[in-house]
Amino acid sequence: MGTGKKKIDIEKITKKSAKIVAFLKRRKGLFRKAEELESLTSYHVTSIIFSPFDKLKLSPASKGNGLRGWVEDIDVEGCQNLN
């Protein structure tokens, strides 16, 4: 028999190296989905995320359209307080 999907408890990642690995994997998946959505719909799609170190990350498709300057003005600490 196969193992199938198992229910896991969601916990905050406290280990720094594990946090970085999880971020990199999720960022890669998010950017891939944004590119897929862009190719399917012929609309421009931009992903704006912040790394665990509060560094700005934009999807590759959005690098040249002047969006970076606008996004860099966003108050990172203010966004964190929205949780």
CB 52 within 8 Å of CB 23: yes
User: What CATH number should be reported for the domain holding residue 37?
Assistant: 3.40.1810
Structural element, H or E, at residue 58: strand 56-58
Residue 63 Cα to chain centre, angstroms: 15
CB 52 within 8 Å of CB 22: no
Q: Is residue 9 part of a domain?
A: no
Q: Is residue 46 part of a domain?
A: yes
What confidence tens digit (pLDDT) does each residue in 1-57 have?
Answer: 567 788 888 889 899 899 889 888 888 888 888 888 888 988 877 777 877 777 777
Calculate ∠ Cα 44-50-54, nearest 5°: 150
Reported as half-sphere exposure (CB side, CA atoms, 13 A), residue 68 has a value of 11
For residue 73, the model assigns a pLDDT of 63
For residue 27, the model assigns a pLDDT of 87
Domain residues for the domain of 44 are 16-80
